[in-house]
Structure 1
């Protein structure tokens, strides 16, 4: 059973809300734990004060009580100030979450409006298909565009095969350290630079591995894919230019038939969606920074507070206090035993709280990492226009078991996103015009459309937008090795292009898909 793009994105949004809710719950637990630890320390100080009253003479007791009380008062004051800072940070995060909820809801409503305009335009396009398809100029341009697209597709297939051959057939060369040493040194070429002694030994090595015969073969393996890709890219540009001419005719037909207001309404919705996406990214980055601050505060990570609590812990760890406790343990009196047991209990509870805090801290770090990865996936999802109403996904488990597996850390963000890409399809008759609309294809195949039609080819323009945050959504890469031909730079291991703090960024795209194309 398939799932539509908008519903898929809504499921990711819900998963994001779940992560944020759990983050908030953990920070609340950490805050309660930090507060509890402070109170345990205060209680421990009071117990030592009581023990001192029982066992020490007034002079020593007064000195010890003064030391403990000073540290205790300072810690209490800092706890109050810390609580205010913590409360403010919690309100800040809650406020950003509320803003994100509003932005997400607004985006969903705008997408619904876009889908409505899309349906209107498709209905209008259906009435025009037969008429414009019979126009001689359109037929000629359509035929030329299809022909060039087929040439581009064939060129790209040859390029990919050559690149596969390079990877497979070149492996024995690359695995030979002596051959690669000579190759990288430029041996046998004008770029080779070495003194006479090195040249002599390199010559021996070259004879040993048969370098003179092997070098031209390896050079050819590397050179052919480069030349083929250059040729394929030229053919792709030619096909795009021809398709743009067809788009212009289709657009004019739609506008003449009264579709311009609908198309403009769609474009307005698209602009609003893009603006909302930019706001969402900015809000997410703001939340990330605020959540970090809240996390630090909830763990008691206030320097002044830490200093005060450490000072109290130091006071309670003084040698004379430890001696007092040791002597109380050696003597068996009812009052001593009760206070000592209470001190032991307080320290045990403190250790439990500290252990729980460590576990919650690790969980919070995991959640923060997962949230950022999901933000990356959502960004790419929108950038690729996978939330378009005409986008569908064959595997509904992507919002079920597979999503849960990702959230649990069973699969990486890169793997999860790749499953989305491989599962994605465009509904029959969907095409991309760089903001235009499409009409029914009347039996023809629009083989160069990056949005596959029923019965058409599925050639996709190579995409250079990943890893750099640019490019058109017309450019969908199926190349091996990741987005844009590589897995270089960026977050989450270099797979994603979402801008981070300090750069809201934009998605350069061609707009949502609207109709069927002639």
Structure 2
């Protein structure tokens, strides 16, 4: 069963809320654990005082009691300060979460408004399609745009093949350390710089591996893809101009027919969505920083708190304390045995708390990483406009089993995102590149992504007389791989983080003009 873009994004939003809730719960659990460990040590300190009163001279007892009390008092004061700081950070997290929930709701409402306007424009454009398709000027522009798109497609396919050849056929050269040494030194070129002895030795190496014959071949393998990509990008730029001209004709026709208010309302809704996305991203980054603060405080990583806790632990580990406990173990008296048993029990409970704390810390670290990865996925999802009302996904497992696998760490974020990309397509009439002939993002966009880099107001491919002789179908044939910087490109996700700024990098939603 398929799932629509808005519902898919809503499922990701819900998963994000679940992650944040679990992060908050674990942070609170860690904070309680840190407090329990502190109280256990205070109890242990009191037990040692009792033991000292039973077994030590008053003078020695007073010295020991003073050392423990000093450390204990300092720890107790730091616990109070620490608790206030933690409470402040937790309140900040709660406030940010409330704001995020509000922004997410507002975005969903804006998307519904967009969908409503989209449907209205679709109905209007469907009526106009046959009329504008018969216009000679439009037909000529469409034919020119289609031809230029084909040229750009062929140029990009040649580029990709040359780049594949470079990677495959160039590997033996790159695997040869002697060849690469001479290549990187610029041997055989005007850039080569070496003294006479090195030149002589390099000459022997070059003769041994026949470098003079191999070098031109390797140079050609590297040079051809560069030249082809330059040519392909020029062709894409030319086709982009033709697409823009075609878009202008379509927009003029729809505005003349009374569609301008609808189109402007769509643009306004889209701008609202983009503005909300920017706010959501800023709040997410702010929350990420605050979550780090909460995590540190809940784990007792406050320097003053750590210092005070360490002093108390040191006081309880003094040599005279160890001696006192050892002597108490060797003698068999009722009072001694009871106190020693209580000390052993306190230390056992502290060890259990420490073990649970370590496990919870690891879980918190995993959740933080998973949250950031899901933020990246949501960013890519919106960036490629997969949340468009007419974007669909063939597999509902993406918000079921596969989502659970990702959250549990069974599959990587890159693999999960790749599943989204493979499953995505556009509802009837929108499988092509939107707007004019649909230009790729400088050869980087997927063939079914309808929003090229040049932005503007985009029309579906058969808005105005598609079909035979209509606008190009399926982008540029074989597609151009995943978006630049995406998870499948080896460059990680493209979501900007704090301080980097930026919003969506592509044009708006498809208009829904005709299907």
TM-score, with normalisation over the residues of structure 2? 0.90
Label 1:484 to 1:196 Cα distance change in 2 as closer, same or farther (>3 A). farther
The answer on 1:291 being equivalent to 2:291 is yes
The aligned counterpart of 2:434 is 432
- The answer to whether the 8 A contact 2:123-2:514 is kept is no
1:10-409 correspondence to structure 2 within 5 Å:
10-409=10-409
Is 95-104 or 199-208 further displaced after alignment? 199-208
Change (3 A) 1:48 1:80: same
Q: CA deviation at 1:495?
A: 1.2
Match of 2:481 in 1: 478
- In structure 2, stretches of 5+ residues that fail to align are 436-455
Once the 2 structures are TM-superposed, how far is the Cα of residue 172 of structure 1 from its aligned partner?
A: 2.2
> How much has 1:119 moved relative to structure 2?
0.7
Aligned partner of residue 158 in structure 2, secondary structure: helix
SS at match of 1:392: strand
1:447 and 1:458 in contact (8 A); partners too: no
Q: Which position in structure 2 is the counterpart of 1:511? A: 508
Contact 1:445 1:457 in 2 (8 A): no
More deviation in 416-425 or 194-203? 194-203
Cα separation, 2, equivalents of 1:369 and 1:136: 56
d(CA) in 1 for partners of 2:487, 2:37: 52
Considering only aligned residues, what root-mean-square deviation do their CA atoms show, in Å?
A: 2.3
Please state if 1:497 is matched with 2:497: no
Following TM superposition, by how much is the alpha carbon of 1:517 offset from its aligned partner in structure 2, in angstroms?
A: 6.0
* C-alpha separation in 2, matches of 1:153 and 1:516: 25
Aligned residue number for residue 458 of structure 1: 475
Could you tell me which residue of structure 1 aligns to residue 453 of structure 2?
Answer: none
Q: 1:401 to 1:445 in 2, by over 3 A?
A: farther
Q: Distance in 2 between matches of 1:146 and 1:437?
A: 15
Contact 2:123–2:513 (Cα < 8 Å) also in 1 = no
1:75 Cα deviation after fit? 2.0
Shift of 1:167: 1.6
Change (3 A) 1:408 1:445: farther
Residue of structure 1 in register with 2:6 after alignment: 6
**Mapped contact 1:150–1:447 kept (Cα < 8 A):** no
Taking the aligned partners of 2:99 and 2:113, their CA distance within structure 1 comes to 21
Choose between structure 1 and 2 for higher RCO, CA contacts under 8 A separated by at least 6 residues: 2
Deviation digits for residues 206-233 of structure 1, max 9, x if unmatched? Answer: 3332333333322222222222211111
TM-superposed CA distance for 1:440, in Å, is 5.0
Q: Which moved more, 1:216-225 or 1:132-141?
A: 216-225
Provide the C-alpha distance between the structure 2 equivalents of 1:29 and 1:105, rounded to a whole number of angstroms.
29
Cα distance in 1 for residues equivalent to 2:500 and 2:222: 38
Structure 1 stretch displaced more, 297-306 or 8-17? 297-306
Provide closer, same or farther for how the CA distance between residues 5 and 341 of structure 1 changes in structure 2, counting only shifts above 3 A.
same
Paired residues of 1:281 and 1:504 also in contact (CA < 8 A): no
- Of residues 285-294 and 340-349 in structure 1, the stretch that sits farther from structure 2 once superposed is 285-294
Q: Distance in 1 between matches of 2:411 and 2:313?
A: 43
- 1:296-338 CA distances to partner (integer Å, 9 max, x unpaired)? 1111222222222222222222222222211111111111111
Distance in 2 of aligned mates of 1:440 and 1:429: 11
Runs of 5+ unmatched residues, structure 1: 449-455, 462-475, 488-493
Shift of 1:483: 4.3
Shift of 1:479: 6.1
**How far does the alpha carbon of each residue in 1:97-134 deviate from its partner, in whole angstroms, 9 at most, with x for none?**
11111111111111111111111100111110011100
The alpha-carbon deviation at position 344 of structure 1 amounts to: 0.4
Alpha-carbon distance, 1:413 to partner: 2.0
From 443, 447, 457, give the equivalent of 2:467.
443
Contact preservation (8 Å) 1:149, 1:447: no
CA distance in 2, matches of 1:224, 1:447: 31
Cα deviation digits, residues 381-406 of structure 1 (max 9, x gap) = 11111111122223332222222222
